[in-house]
Structure 1
Amino acid sequence: MIFGLIVAVLYALVFFTGDKSPTPKLGIDLQGGTRVTLTARTPDGSQPSQDSLRRAQEIIETRVNGLGVSGSEVVIDGDNLVITVPGDDSSQARTLGQTARLYIRPVLGSQVSSNAKAQVPVTQTPAPAGAPAPEGAPAPEGAPAPEGAPAPQNRPFPAQEPAPAPAPEPTTAPAPPSGDLSTADQAAAEIAEAKKTRQSTDPAVQQQAMATLDCNAADPLQGNDDPTLPLVACSTDGTTVYLLGPSIIDGQEIADATSAFNSQQARHEVSLTFKSDGSTTWAQFTAANIGKQAAFTLDSKVVSAPVVQGATPAGSATSITGDFTAAGAKELANTLKYGSLPLSFSASEAETVSATLGLASLQAGLIAGLVGLILVLLYCLIYYRMLGVLTALSLVLSGVLVYAILVLLGRYIGFTLDLAGIAGLIIGIGMTADSFVVYFERIKDEMREGRSFRSAVPRGWARARRTILSGNAVSFIAAAVLYILAVGQVRGFAFTLGLTTILDVLVVFLVTHPLVHLASKSDFWSKPSVNGLGAVQQVARERKTAATSVHNAVGAQAKEA
């Protein structure tokens, strides 16, 4: 009944939650994927070092593991990193390549982007979504100020009152660098040109940059802005342009980042916990700037610019709020948690890659598993008869359970089933059969001692379960070590091997043993011709007869003596 309830719950989740697709996600080798090439960009246009590329590769691989995207590949190709993820979703691969240079900057001013539908300039807009505050504190939504309405002057931290600036004259955007330059020199020139306008300390230049910044164009500063200088930056949705002061906290001060759903505010949030110095600075800033905006910038774009509603005590968590989905909040938390890349990257167009092995290999693997299962069942039926029927039923129920779990893992943590994972499942079939053999042989050992089938079952189970648990513990430890130390598809093999090991214990304890126990109490199933244990009972009778003969012979000799 417990096992049936578990299966019912799992399949209810399969058919009534998520995308409701009843099939597992397949890996790159079986279904293909999406490839995005990230080209490294250094501020001075120099060639990136191999150490920096390797460090970036390690961080991106860690982000992949944090998202639970199984079967992804991150390789170094010259000065580029090539990310390949299963499926056709290129946004996930692009997100993994975020430089993730996070800074917290005070907001000096803001206006609607020239690219937004509303062309009305405003200043000092309240928070687009929420407020940084102690965990659980409410944060009201803000609204743009009416046209021409004065806005309160925002005081940066430390206090640096910007000088008033006249309204800028309409100008054109700076001309792009000459096409005669090399790619590296052109990138360096673009970064330098952007810093002249968007990181200028001249109020007139700042106002001009705000008026002319194109939020829909590629950002040459992406991850290369100087945190000690002011910054003109767009919001991530491209609707608002902000004038920001120098950074007060570097993202390196983040101790941890998690995503969660705030049920009170009905929105997804990213919760940050700062290290000691960052926590102290943030507490001082929030205490001195209540009612002012603070911008969280990621790779030179404003992720959130909430209003400070109250002082945040040192050591408390702070939330980044915005128009996040559950997946978006998780990706941002994962990006911030595992650190910034040592290089900034520009992403190429995503391209679809075909399966390296294809459906033919999938079919071959499934056929191999089916053949192995049939052979195991035939052996059990011939050797164990009735117990072999229980083995077949247990293996089928185990397969039903495994399938539902694979579907849900692919849906909720991004697990993908590749050919190595299928191999782990096939090996799991043999391991599960091993547990049945241990149990049944213990029962036969008890019956050889002269016990009936009914009395042999509980005694045999008491001896067998210790052996089953010990054997599965060793297999699970081996799978766990392999998963931790291995990379690539070997991790998929280790994962499915560990999963089937756990399910083996579940099936033996919740299905196989209860069924054998019920069979031992049945007159029909207890018949030697049905359960196949007649030969064992015959051995027990012969032993008993031999023992009796020996006992009688010894007694007779004693009497004669």
Structure 2
Amino acid sequence: MAPSTGTVHPVRYLALFGVLVVALYALVFFTGDKSATPKLGIDLQGGTRVTLTARTPDGSAPSQDSLKQAQEIIETRVNGLGVSGSEVVVDGDNLVITVPGDDSAQARSLGQTARLYIRPVTGSIDVATRDANRTATPEVPAAETPATDAPAPEAPADGTPTPQNRPFLAQDPTTPEATPAPETTTPAPPVDASSDGTDEGDAAAAEIAAARALRQSSDPTVQQQAVANLDCSVADPLRGNDDPTLPLVACSQDGLNIYLLGPSIIDGQEIADASSVFNSQQSRHEISLSFKTTGSNTWAEFTSANIGKQAAFTLDSKVVSAPTIQGATPAGSATSITGSFTAESAKELANTLKYGSLPLSFAASEAETVSATLGLASLQAALIAGAVGLVLVLLYCLVYYRMLGVLTALSLILSGVMVYAIMVLLGRYIGFTLDLAGMAGLIIGIGMTADSFVVFFERIKDEMREGRSFRSAVPRGWARARRTILSGNAVSFIAAAVLYVLAVGQVRGFAFTLGLTTILDVIVVFLVTWPLVSMASRSAFWSKPSVNGLGAVQEVARERKVAAAASAKETRA
């Protein structure tokens, strides 16, 4: 049985909706970058495209299986970063990454090989000292004595005390203002073919082999030569192709230090999980690692046997961090990579490590700007289409439903206000970008919302045809309509969810916005339309047939009543 009108409190529903809208716009204007503009997709604002060329150590062509696997891993990294609207496609022996906006560093970082090893530090020297010694004397400077002979630093350079609950402390040579050098995450440029006709693949393989012979030698003399001649300011030809079973001479990620490292003790494949965290005691961003069983046991044994020594975390042949071990790390405990990370760079590195290394290393071409394929004209066309559709819906409702059409217009306007705020917040916090397909989903959502209004209003008419007044017909019509509205929206949402899971590219944007508008349709109908109609049914002015447009329905009810009375009279006769 329908609830009585006395149990309905429409003002409470409207107040709840008002609180939701105020909360959304408070987040828009007082959090994040405080910009009230949604992010646009590649087809509307353009983007940045980076072509990654696969490099194999022997110069052979990469297999299609390896390229497909690399494509899947990069797509997973994109999803982990919340970058919506990006594209990763295989083009011959290349991977082409396109991201919205003009941030080429982000596209390049997605192609990071992400080969992580943990190696013991046997010696180190800062580049400035080496170059000064080279200027002062012709002798080749040797790497500093191993960390076992040199006293380990007891605190960071900024004097911040070491927290007591941390197993080791970062020895970060960078200044406080420094951030991880973006060029260290940029793949090396493709190697040009040599002048004697050697093709590009053979030239790259020869360059990798030469770098290995110099920087991964076990001969101390060759190691000293590598330390003396390594240039940390140029692209690393060995990037991601170092042999973990051999020693390694490597630059720090900021290019300020050179390390002599022993063979790897733990492979990055032993990482179970990685996440970016903020260390409030040290006021810095870090990457927290948890290892699988084998890696965790190895790390526990290594830290207990090497207290006071350094261990280097190398990523693609660069030293990300070289902490000094302050105590043994129990098996199963998390470990941190420290350095001068920003919140964004820490998240990117954690995401890269979490989803695994690529089966191939890649060289990147110069980033190129992709102009909007549709651009401002298409954006304006989409907005015009949406406005025309909205106006036509409103005109139809006003002509057919009169007063109820006014309530429909108000409900659609309030729904649009909420949708806009959500679009802005989704772009800010999960990287959602609104493309033309997504706008099509929003426009279709206008029609779906109008469908819900029509169902409700027709149920009210059905009740009035049975002889009830407008006031009594509204709650009974709502009781019948809401089940239909919920069922219809549930079907639409399931369809949108299935499409989102199975589709790729821009079709997912359409499915996302379609599902979002379906949810908002339910919210608006329950918290706005139904309370407004309920309040109108209690008003003497809005209950007039000439105002609400229900006079014809009431006339039908009277005719039925007269016909029923006449039929009953004939039966008695």
TM over 0.5: yes
Q: Deviation per CA, 1:1-59, whole angstroms, max 9, x where unpaired? A: 22222222222222233333322222111221111111111111112122212221222
3-state SS, counterpart of residue 341 of structure 2 = coil
What is the identity, as a one-letter code, of the residue corresponding to 2:352? Answer: T
Secondary structure, counterpart of 1:260 in structure 2 = strand
The 3 A distance-change label for structure 1 pair 92 and 383 is same
2:433 is aligned with what amino acid?
Answer: T
Partner AA of 2:40 in structure 1: L
Query: Residues 41 and 455 of structure 1: is their aligned pair in 2 closer, same or farther, counting only changes over 3 Å?
Result: same
Q: Given that residues 380 and 391 in structure 1 are in contact (C-alpha distance below 8 angstroms), is that contact kept between their aligned partners in structure 2?
A: yes
Q: Look up the match of 1:505.
A: 522
Q: 2:397 — aligned with what?
A: 380
1:188 pairs with 2:205: yes
Question: 1:18 aligned to 2:37?
Answer: no
2:553 matched to 1:533? no
Partner of 1:160: none
The CA deviation at 1:200 is 1.4
**Counterparts of 2:472 and 2:267 in 1: how far apart (Å)?**
70
Q: Which amino acid aligns with 1:475?
A: S
Deviation at 1:424, TM superposition (A): 0.8
Which residue number corresponds to residue 178 of structure 2? none
Once residues 310 and 290 of structure 2 are traced to their aligned partners in structure 1, the CA distance between those partners, rounded to angstroms, is 19
Bigger shift: residues 107-116 or 301-310: 107-116
1:91 aligned onto 2:102? no
Q: Could you say if the C-alpha distance between residues 545 and 291 of structure 1 is closer, same or farther in structure 2, counting changes exceeding 3 Å? A: farther
Residue number in structure 2 paired with 1:167: none
Conserved? CA contact 2:169–2:325, under 8 Å: no
Partner of 2:45: 31
Residues 129, 141 of structure 1: 8 Å contact kept? no
Quick one: structure 1 residues 321 and 522, their matched pair in 2 at CA, closer, same or farther if it must change by over 3 Å? farther
Determine helix, strand or coil for the equivalent of 1:345: strand
Paired position in structure 2 for 1:460: 477
* CA distance in 1 between partners of 2:101 and 2:30 (Å): 23
Change in CA separation of 1:19 and 1:143 when aligned onto 2, cut-off 3 Å: closer
1:14 and 1:407 in contact (8 A); partners too: yes
Q: Aligned pair count? A: 525
In the alignment, which residue of structure 2 is the partner of 1:345?
362
Q: Closer, same or farther in 2 for the Cα pair 1:465/1:307, shift >3 Å?
A: farther
Q: For residues 171-201 of structure 1, what are the alpha-carbon distances to aligned partners after superposition, in whole Å with 9 as ceiling and x for unaligned?
A: xxxxx99643322122111111111121111
Which structure 2 segments of 5+ residues have no match?
A: 1-14, 135-142, 175-191
Tell me by how many angstroms 1:91 deviates. Answer: 0.3
Measure, in 1, the Cα distance between the counterparts of 2:77 and 2:254: 23
C-alpha displacement at 1:139, in angstroms? Answer: 6.4
Aligned positions of 1:379-458 closer than 5 A: 379-458=396-475
Matches of 2:133 and 2:512 in 1, distance apart? 53
2:267 to 250, 270, 280: 250
Find the aligned partners of 2:443 and 2:171 in 1 and give their Cα distance: 57
Q: Say if 1:258 and 1:272, in contact at 8 Å, map to a contact too.
A: yes
Corresponding position of 1:55:
69
Q: Which runs of 5+ in 1 are unaligned?
A: 146-175
Identical positions, percent: 80
Q: 1:469 to 1:115 in 2, by over 3 A?
A: farther
The aligned residue for residue 306 of structure 1 is 323
* Whole-angstrom distance in 2 between the partners of 1:436 and 1:262: 52
**Does structure 2 conserve the Cα–Cα contact (< 8 Å) formed by 1:36 and 1:347?**
yes
Q: Which amino acid aligns with 2:213?
A: K
**Correspondence for 1:371 among 388, 391, 396:** 388
The residue type paired with residue 227 of structure 2 is M
Larger deviation, residues 430-439 vs 177-186: 177-186
Q: What is the CA–CA distance in structure 2 between the aligned matches of 1:119 and 1:510, rounded to whole Å?
A: 75
Q: Indicate the SS of the match to 1:323.
A: strand
User: Shift in Å at residue 222 of structure 1?
Assistant: 0.7
Q: Does the aligned pair in 1 maintain the 2:167–2:329 contact within 8 Å?
A: no
Question: Which residue of structure 2 aligns with residue 77 of structure 1?
Answer: 91
Cα-Cα RMSD:
2.8
User: Paired residue for 2:491, among 438, 449, 474?
Assistant: 474
Q: Secondary structure at the match of 1:214?
A: coil
Q: Is the 8 A contact 1:381 1:389 kept in 2?
A: yes
Say whether the 8 Å CA contact 1:443–1:456 is kept in structure 2: yes
Structure 2 SS opposite 1:184: helix
Alignment of 1:63-212 (within 5 A): 63-114=77-128, 124=147, 126=153, 137=166, 142=171, 179-180=195-196, 181-212=198-229
Deviation at 1:417, TM superposition (A): 1.3
Question: Quick check: 1:115–1:216 contact (8 Å CA) kept in 2?
Answer: no
1:274-306, Cα deviation, whole Å (9 max, x unpaired): 222222222322333333322221111122222
Q: 1:239 aligns with which of 256, 259, 277?
A: 256
